[in-house]
Amino acid sequence: MKKMLETQFPGIDVVLENYPPPMPKRLLAKVVPAVQFGVIGIIMAGEQIFPMMGIMTPPPWYYSLRANRFGSIASTWLLGNFLQSFLQSSGAFEVYCNDELVFSKLKEGRFPGEIELKELVFKKLSTSRLEDGL
């Protein structure tokens, strides 16, 4: 989209920015790595960790995780990274022209096509030029 807009409208300045997700999602995204490392630590050293916590016999789920150590660690890592990525993403795609909103994916519920976006920006630029000329 950036290249298309720069090609269609020479001299236009296209700025790409990340739209921050809501605060609860950002906080949860910070907790995910700690949980990941906690689960991996339990898988690797559960025999020492559970007695320190006062639990003499580890719970049954520990043995199922321990039975396939590599698969459990890989799954924890991949699922944790997926969850963290999901929590850090806002799903926003917005286009502004002269500080006015031209298109918002969150409001429309869809992603714009190239032709549609080109026409929206052209219309906004044309309107701006007419207002500047008055």
Is the pLDDT at 133 greater than 60, yes or no? no
Question: Please, which pLDDT band fits residue 20 given cuts at 50, 70 and 90?
Answer: confident
The pLDDT value given to residue 83: 95
Residue 128 dihedral angles phi and psi, to the nearest 5°: -65, -40
* pTM of the full structure: 0.64
Residue with tokens 């690797």: 44
The pLDDT value given to residue 10: 82
Cβ neighbours, 10 Å, residue 107 = 10
DSSP letter for each residue of the chain: -HHHHHHHSTT------PPPPPHHHHHHHHHHHHHHHHHHHHHHHHHHHHHHTT-SS--HHHHHHHHTHHHHHHHHHHHHHHHHHHHH-----EEEETTEEEEEHHHHTSPPPHHHHHHHHHHHHHHHHHHHH-
Every domain of the chain and the residues it spans: 23-88, 91-133
Is the pLDDT at 75 greater than 90, yes or no? yes
Question: Please, which pLDDT band fits residue 132 given cuts at 50, 70 and 90?
Answer: low
| Mean pLDDT of all residues belonging to the chain | 85
Question: Please, which pLDDT band fits residue 67 given cuts at 50, 70 and 90?
Answer: very high
pLDDT, tens digit, 9 for 90 and up, residues 91-115: 778 888 777 888 888 788 888 888 8
The pLDDT value given to residue 11: 79
